[in-house]
Structure 1
Amino acid sequence: MLHSRPPSENFFPGTLWSRDIYVGDPYTFLFVKRGILQFVYVKPLLAIVTMALKVTGNYQDGEISWSSSYMYLTFFYNLSVCLSLWCLMVFFYATKQDLIGFRPLPKFLCVKAIIFFSFWQSVIIALLVSSGAIHGTEHISVAIQDFLICIEMVPFAIAHSFAFSYEDYYDMNVHSARMPIFTAIKDSLGLKDVLMDTLDTFRGSKFNYKSFEPSEGVPHIGSSRTSRIMAGLRYSSTTSKKRWLEPAPASKFLTTGRGINDEVVVEETEQLAFDDPHPDDSVEELYVASRSMLFGDYNYPVVGFRSPLWRQTKQKYRSSGYGGAESSSKSYRPIEQREGCVDVIVEQGKGNYVVLDPAV
């Protein structure tokens, strides 16, 4: 996505080294991703250290002095916060046109304002108490910080209701959810993907020019293209194909350059199609028909959130019998026609689901 784009705007203190930054470079992207992700682990680690110091009586909250553990923990926490915020700003400006449909700016401001603004607010209050500008008891800085947070959370909660609106995930054409409540809770608590992504990020072995190079397209002219060429990438003068040179044999005297590795990367230009060993026209027809449906398997456990529709239909069959005329004088709202959606009334029999009536 960022491969052929020009570098984006850099921010202080990054401007001390370069006026712009190219996030499309895999090693730059890896640095930015690591800078964002490190805060996720530094924060709980410092919280554990703080609790251990409080238990042993070596932590004085809000005390600013060379012998105070609060000052050193605050320094490292502030360093982690600034690095994470800088990397987030770099990533945001590099991808803001791609993320415009997700409204990233209000989400970014709401979340980061609570985390970072409350931290810097506590530091400022601690400095004012330490300098004597605010007089009071030993824990006055903590009391002021807690009081201000209780007040500030009211406008923050209102802002969150607009930034993270449920309307972003509400689709009028979808009439059922695919997971029961306990399955959904179990799915939301799954952390394996986060753990694997963290390991890949901090290892960095998969972030190289070969893995990030698309089958077509030329990177923006600059240091990134030069680095790719130095890593062994060669362009064809007649076609849009690319190729990688074989890595040079390892030397015990010289170290390999950045981007040269022994990983075998499959060329993306190769065709992945293969012949079907057992062709069957009926199976192909079923496959084509299934793609026109909202869901393929109607026997899957489904939790409907538009209950009046199926409840009224189910009550209709109970009163009139299967296939019989309706005897009740009570009128029922007819099933509305919805394009691309199929309602099926099913009854669980002896181990099977029997379709009673489809309403298209």
Structure 2
Amino acid sequence: MIFLTNYLTIRIPNVMLYLEAKEQEQHLIPLFCCPPWAMGEMLLFRCKLGVLQYTVIRPIISSITLICEMVGVYDEGKFGFSNARTYLVIINNLSELFAMYCLLLFYTVLKEELSPIKPVGKFLCVKLVAFVLFWQAVLIALLVKVGVISEKHTWEWQSAEAVAMGLQDFIICLEMFLVAIAHYHFFSYKPYIREAEEGSCFDSFMAMWDVSDITDDISDQIIHMGSTMRGYQKKKMFS
């Protein structure tokens, strides 16, 4: 989202005014029945907020996962409502789905303006991996659940859960090879050669750890939400 907005800012001085001048965009499937977000500030704000919520929820889910694993209630490789993993996976993927929806909606509105940087390929390289990893993990867990992968259909020194985890890890290794090829094609280094020559390796290394763009965006969204809520309360009082 930051990549797209930064690119648009360079080409379009005021993105919000530009969005207000465009025709109203309706929600995509499966939210096409919901009232559309007004073009302009509301659309930009809600798309940003939808993407940013995942950057907050994901670390929280990861921390809870670590705690659940330590106390023995996570149950990696099992699929059922008696373990914490199922609930954490559902929450995480609902958050991710909404973030991807907001990103897709933003791209749909500005498809022509963003076409020079070919964002679809970049989007699929990053996001398709998450979807494939999740659904194949669900499929393998279901195979364990229905008995296709069971104690009778595995090695004597391995449990069904261990085979499921090993199968998932093996498939990921194969997939990452294909993903690496796709990344090389869609995330070419060539547009950044000049910047790389001007800076040092140490500067690039430190920039890799810089998350100020995310923290600044989260802070801006919180301030915006606060001012929106105050405006809504005042409007409600006067009405």
Shorter-chain TM band: 0.7 to 0.9
Structural mapping, 1:201-240, within 5 Å = 201-205=221-225
Structural mapping, 1:236-251, within 5 Å = none
Following the alignment from structure 1 to structure 2, what is the Cα–Cα distance between the partners of residues 125 and 58? 19
After superposing the two structures, state which structure 1 stretch, 117-126 or 152-161, moved more.
117-126
Structural mapping, 1:159-174, within 5 Å = 159-170=182-193
Following the alignment from structure 2 to structure 1, what is the Cα–Cα distance between the partners of residues 237 and 86? 42
Q: 5+ unaligned residues in a row in structure 1: which ranges?
A: 209-246, 258-360
Q: Do structure 1's residue 17 and structure 2's residue 40 form an aligned pair?
A: no
CA pair 41-128 structure 1, distance change in 2 beyond 3 A = same
In the TM superposition, residue 29 of structure 1 has moved relative to its aligned partner by 2.5
Following the alignment from structure 1 to structure 2, what is the Cα–Cα distance between the partners of residues 23 and 80? 22
CA pair 56-206 structure 1, distance change in 2 beyond 3 A = closer
Match of 1:79 among 94, 99, 122: 94
Aligned to 2:171: 148
CA pair 149-184 structure 1, distance change in 2 beyond 3 A = closer
Aligned to 1:190: 210
- For normalisation by structure 1, the TM-score amounts to 0.53
CA pair 206-187 structure 1, distance change in 2 beyond 3 A = farther
SS in 1 for 2:197: coil
Aligned to 2:237: 255
In the TM superposition, residue 155 of structure 1 has moved relative to its aligned partner by 1.0
Aligned to 2:130: 115
In the TM superposition, residue 205 of structure 1 has moved relative to its aligned partner by 4.7
- For normalisation by structure 2, the TM-score amounts to 0.77
SS in 2 for 1:16: coil
In the TM superposition, residue 140 of structure 1 has moved relative to its aligned partner by 2.5
Work out whether residues 79 and 138 of structure 2, in 8 Å CA contact, stay in contact via their aligned partners in 1. no
Following the alignment from structure 2 to structure 1, what is the Cα–Cα distance between the partners of residues 208 and 226? 27
Match of 2:43 among 19, 25, 28: 28
Higher strand share: 1
Give the letter for the 1:46 counterpart: I
Aligned to 2:22: 5
Give the letter for the 1:255 counterpart: M
Give the letter for the 1:12 counterpart: I
How many residue pairs align between the two structures?
210
Match of 2:66 among 51, 68, 71: 51
Give the letter for the 1:203 counterpart: I
Residues 10-54 of structure 1: CA distance to partner in whole angstroms, max 9, x if unpaired? 222211225xx4462322332221111111222221111111111
SS in 1 for 2:128: helix
Residues 34-82 of structure 1: CA distance to partner in whole angstroms, max 9, x if unpaired? 1111112222211111111111111111222232111111111121121
* Cα RMSD for the two superposed structures: 2.6
Work out whether residues 27 and 34 of structure 2, in 8 Å CA contact, stay in contact via their aligned partners in 1. no
Q: Do structure 1's residue 200 and structure 2's residue 182 form an aligned pair?
A: no
In the TM superposition, residue 191 of structure 1 has moved relative to its aligned partner by 2.5
After TM superposition, which residue ranges in structure 1, 4 or more long, deviate above 4 angstroms?
205-208
Following the alignment from structure 1 to structure 2, what is the Cα–Cα distance between the partners of residues 184 and 152? 28
Residues 115-153 of structure 1: CA distance to partner in whole angstroms, max 9, x if unpaired? 222112211221222122333423222211111100111
Higher helix share: 2
CA pair 9-133 structure 1, distance change in 2 beyond 3 A = farther
In the TM superposition, residue 192 of structure 1 has moved relative to its aligned partner by 2.4
Give the letter for the 2:90 counterpart: F
Following the alignment from structure 1 to structure 2, what is the Cα–Cα distance between the partners of residues 106 and 43? 23
Report the identity percentage.
Answer: 29
SS in 2 for 1:36: helix
In the TM superposition, residue 108 of structure 1 has moved relative to its aligned partner by 0.5
